[in-house]
Amino acid sequence: MKKQASDIGARAGVDRRSVLKGMGGLGLAAAGAGIFGMPKGASAAESLNYMCWEGYNAPSILDPFQKQKDVSISVDLITDSAGGFAKLAAGASKDFDLVSSDSPWIARMGPAGICRYIDDKDFAEQYAEFYPQFRAPFTPLQFEGKATGLPTRWGWVGPTVNTKFDKLETWSSYAPVFDAAYKDKICLLDWGDWPIMPLALYAGVDPYVSLDQAALDEVRKVLRAAFKNTRAIVADLAIAQKGLIDGSFRALIGGGTYATSSLRMKGHDYIQSIVPEPKNGLKQGIIWMEATGLIANGRDSKVAADFLKYIVSPEVAKQLSITEATCNLVPNAKAEALFSDAEKKALQMDYMWTAWDNSHFHTVAPNIDDMLAIWQEELAAR
Amino acid sequence: MRTDSKRWGDPVLVATVAPLGIVMLLFFIIPLVMTVVLSFQTTQFYRLSWTWDLKIWTEVFSKPHYWTIMARTVAMALVCVVVCVLIAFPAAYALATRLRAYNAQIQILIIFAFLTDAVLKTFGWILVLDKSGVANWLLAHLGLGPEALNLLFTPTGTIIGMVYGLVVYPMFTIYLSLARIDRDLVLAAYDSGASRLRAFFEVTLPLARPGLYCGAVLVFVLSLGAFLEPKVLGGGTAPLASELIRQSFETRVNWPLGAALTLVLIVIGALSLALAAAVLMRGNRGRAVQ
């Protein structure tokens, strides 16, 4: 559910490349149709329609596969995971072959009939290259023993801190979010449920289990207290990053490595995302993951399955890891050898398993709608 | 004067009205009906469920926070109208009376600013209003100290962005009204002994009212849908109706709730306009009697 409106330009749901190609091949009218579900390349033997987050659509990733398989790939960019799910659930699934989105939503697509389950045996070679934590049977993507898609990118959600202004130890807990000394210095990232979950964990509530009214009241209290100290609730990554660099925001909450790595890659290695220490036995970090699934559109395209293998292969995973907009970890262990030391440092690879050990895995919380309603109510009352 | 009354069966009349009628039907009436229908459904596991019940409307009317946000939206729209008119009127007056020689050039400049992408303009304001931005840099050089202004991520920041984006509407509507005023009427007021101020308030301002009202209505209606400014310049801490609707549709994937809130906003807008029209008509009738 992250990255809402993080790139307003992407709201149009069409990238420059697809427009230019479409216009060249089929004319302006065909380009308009190509935005949603229409094959755009007249010359390719086959076509794939791909719904994905920004980064998966990089020409350096898509072009080699298109050439190798003589396939044309049309892309529809997601701006919100839940919105992408709703679009597919509303009937658009018949127009798509592949989807790359947040793992909780991919996991839901199998049981919902939007994605077809994969046979782990068919992807044994790919799983063998993954870090042990991501190998089959990979529980977060499983439903009744069947897997929906493969993991593609991951990271963690914790405080993102500018160490020029604050020591990392200060953020070994979310306590500064509520500290008067940090009033108007905190930025919450308006990325759906992402900022809610860490604050709930700080309040001693595990948001990933079914919650009673008392627990929801605790979530309300902690959000109310956080809003009092918060300067801004920002959806745009660039604004949040700018504030963090110039010190007007001392910490970003609800973004984690997704908000950090691209800055570190550009040399701002004093910006770090960490995971707070467990509090009263409750882990305070969150592991987020993106996955890619095969859509159940009745065509059972082999090329789509080939693309799934391709997107998790070491070389492609490395490219998927470092994109223009964001930089993230990938589950492919073999890909690690392809990163330079600077890239590993930017991705905080030396810290990734510490973060993993102190985190919950992000799934769709049973009471997420209640918590989002509380978020709305407390913002309105602010 | 003789007036011809046309019958609806008149082919010329049908041919004239049909294109607009079809556009309105396809892009306004049908979507509006679909929105109404949607508001009576529910969602289950993020999928639309065709239930035909009042669950969503019960929620809308039982949760005060929806109305807090709606009230805030109307209040912000009214503030925006007032500020826009206060800025636009003198500017339009100067354009119509004092700057006639540069009229075309100034209008072109205004139109260029108006046509610049709203996203670009809104994000541009961040560079101006930021604590380390242009405005504070200027104020610091004027000796007012560092970070004298703290407008970014505040409701004032939202208003600045909204006014900047919308002020051009009343500026042009008022200008058009002012430009049509017969100069002889003002001169006649002077000849009758009226001061400049009295001539303005008794001749110019009443004759400029249509443009003023038209501009105010445009600003009000567009302000109700303001989305970027509260999110970017307001810092999302005081959300307006459009953000509430977006969140319902996108983040909560509760399309019936989003549809219901959209209808609430449409009704609020329509009622506000009806109320304003009633007040104006009453005022006009009062003046006619005098």
Question: Binning pLDDT at 50, 70 and 90, where does residue B289 land?
Answer: low
Q: Under an 8 A CB cutoff, do B253 and A377 touch? A: no
Helix, strand, or coil here: B8? Answer: coil
- The helix (H) or strand (E) run that includes residue B135 is helix B134-141
**Given its phi and psi angles, is residue A267 left (phi above 0), alpha (psi -120 to 50 degrees) or beta?**
left
- B216-254: b (≥16 Cβ within 10 Å) or e: bbbbbbbbbebbbbbbbbbbbbbbbbbbbbbbbbbbbbb
Output the pLDDT for position A43. Answer: 67
Look at residues B278, B182, B213 and name the one whose alpha carbon lies nearest to residue B81: B213
Checking if the pLDDT of A9 tops 60, the result is no
Checking if the pLDDT of A198 tops 70, the result is yes
Report the C-alpha gap between A29 and A298 in whole angstroms: 28
Output the pLDDT for position A22. Answer: 37
Q: Under an 8 A CB cutoff, do A4 and B251 touch? A: yes
- In Å, what is the CA distance from B81 to each residue of A251, B131, B155, B222? 36, 27, 15, 10
Block residue for tokens 């709730």: B257
User: In this structure, what DSSP letter does residue B247 have?
Assistant: I
Mean pLDDT of A229-243: 92
User: Per residue in A137-167, pLDDT tens?
Assistant: 999 999 999 999 999 999 999 999 999 999 9
Mean pLDDT of A209-214: 97
Report the C-alpha gap between B34 and B263 in whole angstroms: 11
Look at residues A372, A188, A227, A381 and name the one whose alpha carbon lies nearest to residue B72: A381
Output the pLDDT for position B88. Answer: 97
Output the pLDDT for position A18. Answer: 37
Question: Binning pLDDT at 50, 70 and 90, where does residue A245 land?
Answer: very high
With a CB cutoff of 8 Å and minimum separation 6, the contacts of A2 are A81, A102, A189, A191, A192, A194, A255, A258, A288
Checking if the pLDDT of A13 tops 60, the result is no
Cis omega (within 30 of 0) for bond into A137: yes
Identity at B8, one-letter amino acid code: W
Chain B partners of A193 at a C-beta cutoff of 8 Å? 251
Look at residues B254, B112, B233, B247 and name the one whose alpha carbon lies nearest to residue B163: B233
The half-sphere exposure of A133 on its side-chain side, counting CA atoms within 13 A, is 14
Output the pLDDT for position B146. Answer: 75
With a CB cutoff of 8 Å and minimum separation 6, the contacts of A282 are A201, A204, A206
Which of A239, A242, A250, A371 is the mutation pick for testing B, counting most B CBs within 10 A?
Answer: A239
Q: Under an 8 A CB cutoff, do A86 and B47 touch? A: yes
Q: Under an 8 A CB cutoff, do B132 and A248 touch? A: yes
Q: Under an 8 A CB cutoff, do A248 and B130 touch? A: yes
Mean pLDDT of A46-61: 94
Checking if the pLDDT of A6 tops 50, the result is no
- In Å, what is the CA distance from A174 to each residue of A170, A278, B172? 9, 11, 52
Tokens standing for residue B251? 């983040």
Residue of A nearest to B124 (CA): A239
A256 and A157 Cβ atoms separated by less than 8 Å? yes
Q: Under an 8 A CB cutoff, do A376 and B247 touch? A: yes
Identity at A138, one-letter amino acid code: F
Report the C-alpha gap between B280 and B287 in whole angstroms: 11
Output the pLDDT for position A291. Answer: 98
B178 and B92 Cβ atoms separated by less than 8 Å? yes
Q: Phi and psi for A156 in degrees, rounded to 5?
A: -130, 155
User: Per residue in A64-119, pLDDT tens?
Assistant: 999 999 999 999 999 888 889 989 988 899 999 999 999 999 999 999 999 999 99
A1 and B251 Cβ atoms separated by less than 8 Å? yes
Choose between B251 and B233: higher pLDDT. B233
Mean pLDDT of A225-234: 95
Task: For chain A, give the secondary structure using H, E and C.
Answer: CCCCCCCHHHHHCCCHHHHHHHHHHHHHHHHHHHCCCCCCCCCCCEEEEEEECCCCCCHHHHHHHHHHHCEEEEEEECCCHHHHHHHHHCCHHHHCCEEEEEHHHHHHHCCCCCEECECHHHHHHHHHHECHHHCCCCHHHEECCEECCEEEEEEEECCEEECCCCCHHHHCCCHHHHCHHHCCCEEEECCCCCCHHHHHHHCCCCCCCCCCHHHHHHHHHHHHHHHHHEEEEECCHHHHHHHHHHCCCCEEECCCHHHHHHHHHCCCCCEEECCCCCECCECCEEEEEEEEEEECCCCCCHHHHHHHHHHCCHHHHHHHHECCCCECECCEHHHHHHCCHHHHHHCCCCCHHHHHHCEEECCCCCCHHHHHHHHHHHHHHC
Output the pLDDT for position A24. Answer: 39
Checking if the pLDDT of B68 tops 50, the result is yes
Residue A82 is nearest to which of B69, B131, B250, comparing CB atoms?
Answer: B250
- The helix (H) or strand (E) run that includes residue B220 is helix B205-224
Q: Lowest mean pLDDT of A4-13, A183-192, A215-224, B193-202, name the range.
A: A4-13
Mean pLDDT of A336-347: 96
Mean pLDDT of B56-77: 96
Question: Binning pLDDT at 50, 70 and 90, where does residue B6 land?
Answer: low
Q: Lowest mean pLDDT of A288-292, B175-179, B236-240, name the range.
A: B236-240
Measure in Å the smallest separation between the Cα of A288 and chain B Cα atoms: 17
Question: Binning pLDDT at 50, 70 and 90, where does residue A222 land?
Answer: very high
How big is the CA angle at A58 (ends A55 and A61), to the nearest 5 degrees? Answer: 110
Q: pLDDT exceeding 90 applies to what percent of chain A?
A: 77
Measure in Å the smallest separation between the Cα of B124 and chain A Cα atoms: 11
Choose between A276 and A381: higher pLDDT. A276
Which of A2, A4, A8 is the mutation pick for testing B, counting most B CBs within 10 A?
Answer: A8
Q: Under an 8 A CB cutoff, do A239 and B126 touch? A: yes
Output the pLDDT for position B131. Answer: 82
Output the pLDDT for position B3. Answer: 58
Output the pLDDT for position A82. Answer: 85
Per 3-state DSSP, chain B is made up of helix, strand and coil in percentages (nearest 5) of 75, 0, 20
Report the C-alpha gap between A261 and A265 in whole angstroms: 6
CB neighbourhood size of B92 (10 A): 25
Output the pLDDT for position A4. Answer: 43
Question: Binning pLDDT at 50, 70 and 90, where does residue B264 land?
Answer: very high
Residue B290: exposed, middle, or buried by beta-carbon count in 10 A (0-12, 13-18, 19+)? exposed
Q: Under an 8 A CB cutoff, do A372 and B132 touch? A: no
Chain A residues in contact with chain B using a Cβ-Cβ cutoff of 8 Å:
1, 4-5, 8-9, 79-80, 82-83, 85-86, 89-90, 108, 112, 190, 192-193, 227, 230-236, 239, 242, 246, 248, 369, 372-373, 376-377, 379-382
Which of B147, B237, B245 is the mutation pick for testing A, counting most A CBs within 10 A?
Answer: B237
Output the pLDDT for position B144. Answer: 82
Output the pLDDT for position A16. Answer: 33
User: Per residue in A14-31, pLDDT tens?
Assistant: 333 333 333 333 333 433
Q: Phi and psi for A288 in degrees, rounded to 5?
A: -105, 155
Checking if the pLDDT of A374 tops 80, the result is yes
Q: Lowest mean pLDDT of A355-364, B108-117, B180-189, B209-218, name the range.
A: B108-117
Distance from the Cα of residue B237 to its chain's centroid: 22
Checking if the pLDDT of A11 tops 80, the result is no
The half-sphere exposure of B77 on its side-chain side, counting CA atoms within 13 A, is 27
Question: Binning pLDDT at 50, 70 and 90, where does residue A312 land?
Answer: very high
